[in-house]
Amino acid sequence: MGRAGAWVVRAGVGFGRAGLAAAVCLLVPGVWAGAAGLGVWSGPEHPWSWIGPAVIVCAGTLALAQTVCRAVRFLVARWTGTEIPTGHREPMPVMQLSTGYWWNGFSYERTRRDAVMDQRMRLWWSDPATWRDLRFAVIAPVTAGVVAAVPPAALAGGVLGLTGQGTAARLAGAGALALALGCAPYAWRALPLVAVRFLGPSRAMVLADRVDELTSERADATVAQAAEIRRIERDLHDGAQARLVALGLALATAEALLDRDPDQAKALMREARAGAAASLTELRELIRGISPPVLSERGLVDAVRALALDVPLDVAVRADGPLRLDPPIEAALYFGVAELLTNAVKHAGAGRAHVSLVRDDTGVVVEVEDDGRGGADARPGGGLAGLGRRLAVFDGALAISSPPGGPTRAKMTVPCAYS
């Protein structure tokens, strides 16, 4: 295809996009024009000559603003790949209290329906994103809408001019047609620029969302820490503490039998020594579960390699040299790898696994892949969801790809500095 053909294709695509952008942006002004036409048709002496149009303008703008913004986000994402978040506040779950009333985050209502309706209305009025959408519905027609309307308007003018009478009309029509073809590939591009500038969440909204996210992450970290403390207490109480109590009783009995029955005392002391060894092993396992010594002494890469030797899988570990991260991040990634390998053994029935630890421009990327049956899902309340929450504390993320039949690929990314 030559340059002329490519230009025709670009012009055709641009013309279609410009038409869509103009139709969406000028939807609200269309309602205004209809309301004005109704006022003119009613006549100045009619009582509805200005009340009716005013009601139509207000109601139409409020009703169509969010629809227009939703359509603009869709078009911008489809044409440019730029995702513009809505920024709207999410409603909290409506809960029924022991008194029988329903709480929606703002007020108590007698029925769930009343609570939901009241919540929606209050959120609509108090959400800054609502007024941002209304502002965009007013700004878009006089910016992106006017620019996007140039190709369709010029095409219509060109057709009228070429079909008219006289040389001047035909020359004007040819010029309008040339204008339509010339600006068609570019006119629609005003819409993404205006949308990103005026439709994206404001800095205050981004900061508020970040505060909510950090608050949630802090709550998750607090819950996880409390659960870990309870696990340690339970392991100490049921394991090492019980063995040490039995050890003390055995030594006291051996001391009492030392003069009367030395052989029995020696047997009790041998049992006590075995119990002490078992207690020491349990304490070492408990310490390893809290913070593996190899992780503190030799870093993440060697700790993962040591972990791979203890897993009943054929595990290959690849790393871009030694990685020394902050201890909390190293611990989160180490236990993340441990959980993923454990899942590969227990749930996926895998025989082989591959662990990769790679640096990038912003931090570290750890990937774990196994040849199991697949189907892994980060469902709410599951281990993978918990792992994602632990990584989110460090602004990290967990991505899972696990189609039925495998393989399962888990990617942990944490932005951080390393040495």
State whether 115 and 263 are in the same domain: no
CA distances from 257 to 246, 248, 260, 264 (A): 16, 14, 5, 7
So what's the pLDDT on residue 247? Answer: 67
- What are the Cα distances from residue 202, in Å, to 125, 128, 209, 212? 17, 9, 11, 15
The strand pair at 102-103 and 314-319 is best described as unpaired
Among candidate residues 151, 173, 201, the one where a domain is terminated: 201
Per the omega criterion (within 30 degrees of 0), is the bond before 407 cis? yes
pTM of this prediction?
A: 0.51
* Token output for 93: 């779950």
What's the CA gap between 91 and 100, in Å, rounded? 21
Give pLDDT tens digits for 318-375. Answer: 887 777 777 777 878 888 888 888 888 777 777 888 888 888 777 888 888 888 877 7
Looking at residue 418, its pLDDT comes to: 53
Q: Which pLDDT belongs to residue 93?
A: 80
Q: Which residue's entry shows tokens 């030797």?
A: 309
Other Cβ atoms within 10 Å of 10 Cβ, number: 14
Q: Check: CB of residue 313 under 8 Å from CB of residue 345.
A: yes
Strand order in the sheet with 102-103: 95-96, 102-103, 108-109
Same-domain status, 52 and 153: yes
Residue 29's CB: how many other CB atoms inside 10 A? 16
If asked whether residues 106 and 64 sit together in one domain, one would say no
- pLDDT of amino acid 338: 82
Do 158 and 183 reside in the same domain of the chain?
A: yes
Report the pLDDT value the prediction gives residue 7, as an integer from 0 to 100.
67
**pLDDT at res. 238:** 60
Please state the three-class secondary structure of the chain as a single string.
CCHHHHHHHHHHHHHHHHHHHHHHHCHHHHHHHHHHHHHHHHCCCCCHHHHHHHHHHHHHHHHHHHHHHHHHHHHHHHHHCCCCCCCCCCCCCCEECCCCCEECCCCEECCHHHHHHHHHHHHHHHCHHHHHHHHHHHHHHHHHHHHHCHHHHHHHHHHHHHCCCCHHHHHHHHHHHHHHHHHHHHHCCHHHHHHHHHCCCCHHHHHHHHHHHHHHHHHHHHHHHHHHHHHHHHHHHHHHHHHHHHHHHHHHHHHHHCCCCHHHHHHHHHHHHHHHHHHHHHHHHHHHHHCCHHHHHHCHHHHHHHHHHHCCCEEEEEECCCCCCCHHHHHHHHHHHHHHHHHHHHCCCCCEEEEEEEECCCEEEEEEEECCCCCCCCCCCCHHHHHHHHHHCCCCEEEEECCCCCCEEEEEEEECCCC
The pLDDT of residue 129: 79
If asked whether residues 109 and 237 sit together in one domain, one would say: no
Domain count, the chain: 4
CB contact set of 251 (below 8 Å; sequence gap of 6+): 268, 269, 272
How many other CB atoms are there within 10 angstroms of residue 129's CB atom?
20
Among residues 174, 150, 149, the alpha carbon closest in space to that of 161 is found at 174
Cβ neighbors of 184 (< 8 A, separation 6 or more) are 10, 11, 12, 14, 15, 18, 151
For residue 94, which of 63, 120, 55 has the smallest C-alpha distance? 120
Is 252 found in the same domain as 195? Answer: no
Query: Within this chain, do residues 380 and 305 fall inside the same structural domain, yes or no?
Result: yes
38 and 164 part of one domain: yes
Nearest CA among 24, 233, 275, 60 for reference residue 149 = 24
pLDDT along the chain (419 residues), means of 10: 66 83 84 68 59 70 83 88 78 78 81 85 79 86 86 82 75 80 83 85 67 62 59 61 68 72 74 70 60 71 81 82 75 82 78 84 83 75 72 79 82 73
The separation between CA 27 and the C-alpha centre of its own chain, rounded to angstroms, equals 32
Domain that holds residue 365: 297-415
Residue that terminates a domain, selected from 290, 312, 343: 290
My answer on whether 133 and 47 are in the same domain is yes
Domain identity same for 162 and 262: no
User: What's residue 60's pLDDT?
Assistant: 72
Q: How many CB atoms lie within 10 A of CB 46?
A: 12
* Whether residue 309 is found in the same domain as residue 399: yes
Q: Determine the straight-line distance between the first and last CA of the chain, rounded to whole angstroms.
A: 53
pLDDT tens digits, 217-227:
565 555 555 56
Residue 399, domain CATH: 3.30.565.10
Q: Give the tokens for residue 196.
A: 């990103």
- Alpha carbon distance 113, 57 (integer Å): 29
Same domain? For 356 and 404 the reply is yes
